[in-house]
Amino acid sequence: MQDINFLQKLKIWLRVYQRIRFFKRMYPLSAIIADIFLFPLDYFFNRRRITAVRNVTLAITHRCNMRCAMCYFNKKLDIECDLPLSLYKRVIDSVKKSRPCIILSGGEPFLHPHLINMVDYAKSLGLAVQIFTNGTLITPSLTEALVKAKLDYINFSLLGNEVSHSLVTNTPDAYGRFINNLEYFAARRQGTKIILNYTITPDGIKDIGHALKLAMRYKLDGLRIQHYNFLSPSDFRKQAGRMEAVFQAGPLVNEIEGPKEFNNLAAEVIDFKKRLSRDSKGIPIQWAPDLSNAEIRNWYSDEEFNTGRKCLFPWRGILVDADGKIYPCSKIYLPCGDIKKQDLFKAWNSQDMQKFRKSLKKNLFPACSRCCKL
């Protein structure tokens, strides 16, 4: 782990704060102020029962109509599984006192038959709701229903331009459907915020400027650029060793292996970042994570990502899978509980979750090394 000085730590925390405030409806200032006092108690007292959840991510389905080249979820997409609406409501009822934001993902959430009911239910309890989608299955009637339900945020995921987007998604007509639905939703959004989410990939990096053009053309509410997530062969081996030592389990990791040749990925990302700060013209920008140029060069290399950053997600974020199981995060699939059989917070505070948090405090798991939450 890299040793970092006070000024570097301060810069990292400033970037984390800016990233959180990018979604103001989801992370209000009141919650941030409360956590200034509450979070240290939950972080440093490992056996304390944590109930202050800020983010509940539900992978409501394992199904998807695409097979994106960089998707770490590919192994599960052939296993048809939808989170039952009754189980979803039980989750929302359990967390509503904390007033967390609700993030609906998948798979592709628009394949879930009860997506609108899920949004309606959370909104009826005054919770902020966000959807991550590939944008190809949003019909006019679904658009109108979501706007009527006062959906807070919808993230359209882009992977290239008119040519490369469909190539990266391995879906010939993906871009055409994406752009038609984005245009339709943008014209009728009312109070719903539209975020364009661009995931960097080796095949899509040269077309990253297309994301800014679309954000400006449709006057979108933000552009979120997600760094390419991958693990090196060394990371996989180290992850297996760490999980065996701590949990006597296999690597249990959802991630893809990085490319053998990185070419000029880092240089292209740094160049775009420089141009973006000049050309964004009022479009709010979020990098996930927000890296310095030195960190970008390290990230897009075959070396271990050397960082002094911490991951705080397991202390404030709950991940519920479509099968009802609780996992520490979307990258490490260590089953820590099952909401079909137990109370949500009992699962989230299980012995395995406490052990995971304790180990994570010491240093990041190898599978954490290139994660958008850092």
pLDDT tens string 35-92: 889 999 999 887 778 999 999 999 999 999 999 988 877 767 777 899 999 999 999 9
Q: What percent of the chain has pLDDT over 70?
A: 97
Would you state the pLDDT for residue 216? 97
The tens digit of pLDDT for each residue in 138-162 reads 999 999 999 999 999 999 999 999 9
Cα(324)–Cα(337) distance, rounded to whole angstroms? 9
Considering only CA atoms, which of 33, 151, 138 is closest in space to residue 103? Answer: 151
Reference 217, options 169, 163, 171, 158; nearest CA is 158
CA 105 to chain centroid, in Å, comes to 9
Q: Which regions in the chain score pLDDT beneath 70? A: 1-4, 8-9, 12-13, 75
> What is residue 164's predicted lDDT score, i.e. its pLDDT?
96
Reported pTM: 0.94
Q: What is the mean pLDDT of the chain?
A: 92
Measured distance CA(117)–CA(193) in Å, rounded: 19
One-letter amino acid at 343 equals D
Q: What is the pLDDT of residue 247?
A: 95
pLDDT, residue 2, reads 56
What is the pLDDT, as a whole number, of residue 4?
Answer: 66
Let me know how many helices (H) and strands (E) the chain has, helices first: 14, 10
